[in-house]
Structure 1
């Protein structure tokens, strides 16, 4: 590579965008400049190269078509521009080496991560956690996210996903509620206030009350009362306060069960979830020491440490 050659980075971006859109106007809209500016940059690049880059049609609807030589060069140009973006992101990451940007759901943060995070901070005091909580799938690149924990089937485009924890779904209530609620068999649940978790779409495979009751031998159940909440932590809190019986996710309910704030009902009925918790990160950041340290800590906390 001749590093003494003039580098027309903006012109290359203008050329690539114009080729993709088939017009200077489409490229201008993407690059947030005027069509005239895009045309000028492309013509400057053509002058430097000493060759045309587009066939320009003058009949019908005007459209730019790359020349054969330009078309042949486009894959390398696109790959180079992508590498430049990655390089800049690496510079950004190294410039903020003390900050690790983490995304998790609000419930996972409240019920699992935050009660344990002091152990990571004691191990890696030089790393500051910047936590973003959201029920929606955050765009890692747009939000500058380094690593996160997601709940699902493990398939997210352009991201590495490593299974962290499987889980089971089962009914829970406060110990006091179980004493006064006459809960002897699963069918008794149909006469209780059932707390529904709306934070995960059943279409994705999330276990619902209807599915659990069928597994418990209750067919054609028609529960009379119910409460619906779109936050798994709030679902458990409602059960702790005696508002009814919640369908709990074992990972989120673990600490409350251990502390005696919740009681599991009908442990003989086992309904594993087809979904699981995954550590999720971008491949280009996989080798960052701070990311690896957090990943390894998560696996150790989950009891599934890997070599």
Structure 2
């Protein structure tokens, strides 16, 4: 078996093992399921061992054999090192792609409005955004750098604090006009409160119930609520006058500056236990494009804090 075919067969095996499906592996590798199956079979024939127990149905049609399961971590680590070596070869090139993972809300409310600055400074670097609430696997998905919201601990990644934040209620100017007596937390009784479901199960996230318990002097009555699983959409619902949102300061900053939102009860400060962190693999820390983007993020965060 020639070296290129050998590597392609290993890639097909690794993707099939990870997805437990030839079809899903084919989608990732941009080939047909038949091609993936043939590559895996050719690898099995060359090795003289079976790599999968093939089922006839269900979600997991491919189950690794014992020998394949033992070998898979080493093969995945090998591809990780090959990808890193390829990045090293590209270090001297003025062009390239930087893959950045962020949440959809952070992309919409903070990163995208500022990204022109990085692209102007690094015109030969193409930025590819991977936006998802799911945690990306940096090695297998080819992620260079990201920004994550949490307590600062993610296995296998370096985490550098980018921005802290606080949480506070916000509403639109028109909503406040309709409710002019909205001067203290107890005045929220009976109003629609917009719940952010995107991260409310994460330890340390400040929910409406937690915030009200902290600041209200008396029990709140049953409240109407609008539940949304996207932080940017939560703010947009408040901008559109659908209720009062519990905003996170980093995401809401531009809307507050523009006047689209108004901060209620500004003397009440509730810091969040969570923060935004720049994350990357330690072995990639000195890649030029990563270094440039990391510094740009830190500079933008500093400017944003100072302007706020």
Q: Which residue of 1 aligns with 2:272?
A: 273
Whether 1:38 aligns to 2:50 is: no
CA distance in 2, matches of 1:263, 1:235: 14
Quote the offset at 1:126 in angstroms: 1.2
| 2:147 paired residue among 146, 149, 153 | 149
**Rg: which structure is higher?**
1
Q: Which residue of 1 aligns with 2:231?
A: 232
CA distance in 1, matches of 2:89, 2:98: 11
- SS of the aligned residue for 2:107 comes to helix
Verify the 8 A CA contact 2:99 2:128 in the aligned structure 1: yes
Distance change (3 Å), C-alpha of 1:84 and 1:229: closer
Whether 1:212 aligns to 2:211 is: yes
Q: Which residue of 2 aligns with 1:191?
A: 190
Whether 1:202 aligns to 2:201 is: yes
Which stretch has the larger CA shift, 174-183 or 291-300? 174-183
Distance change (3 Å), C-alpha of 1:249 and 1:81: closer
Quote the offset at 1:35 in angstroms: 6.1
- SS of the aligned residue for 1:212 comes to helix
- SS of the aligned residue for 1:191 comes to coil
Q: Which residue of 1 aligns with 2:220?
A: 221
Quote the offset at 1:188 in angstroms: 1.1
Q: Which residue of 2 aligns with 1:286?
A: 285
Distance change (3 Å), C-alpha of 1:149 and 1:81: closer
Superposition map of 1:61-140 within 5 A: 82=77, 85-92=80-87, 94-95=89-90, 97-140=95-138
Which string of whole-angstrom CA distances, capped at 9 and with x for unpartnered residues, describes residues 73-126 of structure 1?
A: x9xxx9899467414432156458511001100110000000000011111111
CA distance in 2, matches of 1:32, 1:298: 42
Q: Which residue of 2 aligns with 1:174?
A: 172
Verify the 8 A CA contact 2:198 2:228 in the aligned structure 1: yes
Unpaired stretches in structure 2, ≥5 consecutive residues: 11-38, 50-65
Verify the 8 A CA contact 2:167 2:247 in the aligned structure 1: yes
Superposition RMSD on alpha carbons, in Å? 3.2
- SS of the aligned residue for 1:136 comes to coil
Distance change (3 Å), C-alpha of 1:196 and 1:84: closer
- SS of the aligned residue for 2:232 comes to helix
Provide the aligned length of Structure 1 versus Structure 2. Answer: 251
Q: Which residue of 2 aligns with 1:246?
A: 245
Quote the offset at 1:287 in angstroms: 0.7
CA distance in 1, matches of 2:40, 2:300: 47
Quote the offset at 1:191 in angstroms: 1.5
Verify the 8 A CA contact 1:210 1:221 in the aligned structure 2: no
Quote the offset at 1:32 in angstroms: 4.0
TM-score normalised by structure 1 residue count: 0.73
